[in-house]
Structure 1
């Protein structure tokens, strides 16, 4: 039994979420959790720190083996060992993959509203951004492949997929991924699938690793995932880059070496091994706790703040709040959230096209803190 109700002070720890914000605001923004990591991870790091010598790493230990076992058990699909490379983080991997796989003037597809760094990545290496906005029917988002079909041309080389999708919380179905994969195969577009939230899926849904959809697609894409969101170790530089295609893999590893990032952080190896080996029971309890936080939020909004509509999530601990009925423009909405509700959320506008009138809220915190946030929001709306 793990205590997710425990309040852990993160202030004065050089913490982006708590220390880089205006005093008096309750931070429910950046995507890390206010829970301690699994005890086994903390113990492993403490033991490694007590050794006292932190020289260069010589390899990855059991990192790749425990990742393979984790993915096989959780998703029914696992990479071969030689397919696995690493990166300090998924965003760093995205930048390196664009360097490895594109030329200036190539076009890269993203599907907004989407994680903000995708915009920077898609414009890197002299590339041109191509937006294919998700279709929203007022309740649920879906990919619009017919719209995309009208936009693609021979200059489109890559698509960056967010799966599960941040900030809207969609967990793409196998059928949706198959349709997308076939489209990209037909148009010779390589997919980079950011699956960093893949372990954080609500009970009624199932994450599908894009590479598992078909053998043909497996050779036309890259999976990027990490233990960082799952086990709340985002401050430790560790992510996985899984590439079945030998040519794509060689291109990525060349850029990885040229960037001076081929050797892992000494604490990253320890944390990854412990998390994937011993963290499953902790994660399973976490998912139940997050589900209850979601249900609390959904019920509270429906009963007490119906002006704010929750887009029903399928995964992640990030909720997408439709605030358009408040009748505020985006600048007014941001001021309302900060100055009246005394909350720090993520404005929908930072997620690009389709984000106007929305706010993203992180509910990965003790329930008592979540309730305070909801009460502040209610007071602001009613005040």
Structure 2
């Protein structure tokens, strides 16, 4: 079967496989952690099977095929020519964020982030004894944006790192070239290291939007830049643990590598094999995935607007994670409400910086997605009917 014949409507049986998504909260139907309910592309599975047949799994390092596949991917997708020495291979994105903070912060320093954002952004600064300056994104009539004035007012001489999430998780924003340029100029002006987490960059759902990688910034703005990428979210191989950094400045790269320490694990040999196969041969599957996710997103948005209008949503251009505003339900914890009343487990918005939101993972077969939405609607209808009954008495 070719990659383009992949059946995204098939829900694999994941219980009993050690799945965090399906087994951590077994009493609920899961739509939470950023892990799709699709099997990985055949090219990835076959490459791993071929490597397993070799039978020897000693210490491994990034092999020639992986390096060539990553460099070709960067050239093909981002249009940049990167030297091999600029690559730093890593066992995961969150460890990379932690390493960046430890490399460039001392105890008492600050790391700037913009919430709501992937919750480890709030935590990695502590690994360096640093603290977080959170300057929340602001919402206008069109979209979520950086609060430039607030960022200028919040930055201090002890601020050393700014962590960017682009495409933005959980907002689904794809920041424009102009926004990334302005952010890089802000970092240059205040002598901050810009750490650009681009893990979702291959999951742009809007055909008319293009991801502007920080790697495409002018040379003078890349001297304090660390760009992080991975095939994990796109090809559903997060459990294998592989990511990479592009750090073109020699001194910056040396400082980053020196902070690795002795707690960072080695990269799994199968993770490197899977990453090579994904980047080399997975593009047809990825294109089909994007089409399926786009349709899922549209169905989800239509369902919410028509069947659950009390929930508020905004435009969503990237990722398979939808950010949903539940504030009009007047709940102390929307995530707990949907778990208890609908049997549906979503991602709680509070660790992301927004208590009245939940995040819905629509990276799954459409019927399965709709089943969860129907359960949410039932819980909301029951709550509204109960509230109405109390008011009438």
Confirm whether residue 322 of structure 1 aligns to residue 321 of structure 2. Answer: no
Contact residue 109 and residue 122 of structure 1 kept, 8 A: no
Q: Could you say if the C-alpha distance between residues 198 and 136 of structure 1 is closer, same or farther in structure 2, counting changes exceeding 3 Å?
A: same
Residue by residue, what CA displacement relative to the aligned partner does 1:288-321 show, whole Å, maximum 9, x if unpaired? 0000000000111111111112221111110000
Q: Where do residues 307-346 of structure 1 align in structure 2 (5 Å cutoff)?
A: 307-329=310-332, 331=333, 333-346=334-347
Structure 1 runs not aligned, ≥5 long: none
113, 117, 121: which is aligned to 1:114? 117
Contact residue 95 and residue 264 of structure 2 kept, 8 A: no
Q: Which residue of 2 aligns with 1:372?
A: 371
123, 126, 145: which is aligned to 2:126? 123
Q: Which residue of 1 aligns with 2:14?
A: 10
Secondary structure of the structure 2 residue equivalent to 1:79: coil
Confirm whether residue 214 of structure 1 aligns to residue 218 of structure 2. Answer: yes
Q: Distance in 2 between matches of 1:105 and 1:260?
A: 22
Q: Where do residues 208-287 of structure 1 align in structure 2 (5 Å cutoff)?
A: 208-256=212-260, 258-259=261-262, 261=264, 263-287=266-290
- Deviation of the 1:263 alpha carbon: 4.8
Contact residue 110 and residue 161 of structure 1 kept, 8 A: yes
Q: Which residue of 2 aligns with 1:97?
A: 100
- Deviation of the 1:139 alpha carbon: 5.1
Q: Distance in 1 between matches of 2:82 and 2:338?
A: 44
- Deviation of the 1:346 alpha carbon: 0.8
Q: Which residue of 1 aligns with 2:169?
A: 166
Secondary structure of the structure 1 residue equivalent to 2:64: coil
Contact residue 159 and residue 189 of structure 1 kept, 8 A: yes
Q: Could you say if the C-alpha distance between residues 274 and 368 of structure 1 is closer, same or farther in structure 2, counting changes exceeding 3 Å?
A: same
Alignment RMSD, CA only?
1.4
After the TM superposition, which of the residue ranges 361-370 and 372-381 deviates more from structure 2? 372-381
Q: Could you say if the C-alpha distance between residues 262 and 350 of structure 1 is closer, same or farther in structure 2, counting changes exceeding 3 Å?
A: closer
Q: Distance in 1 between matches of 2:26 and 2:7?
A: 29
- 4+ aligned runs moved over 6 Å, structure 1: none
Q: Distance in 2 between matches of 1:152 and 1:194?
A: 20
How many residues align? The count is 377
Residue by residue, what CA displacement relative to the aligned partner does 1:128-157 show, whole Å, maximum 9, x if unpaired? 211111112365210011111111121111
Contact residue 167 and residue 319 of structure 2 kept, 8 A: yes
Contact residue 101 and residue 248 of structure 1 kept, 8 A: no
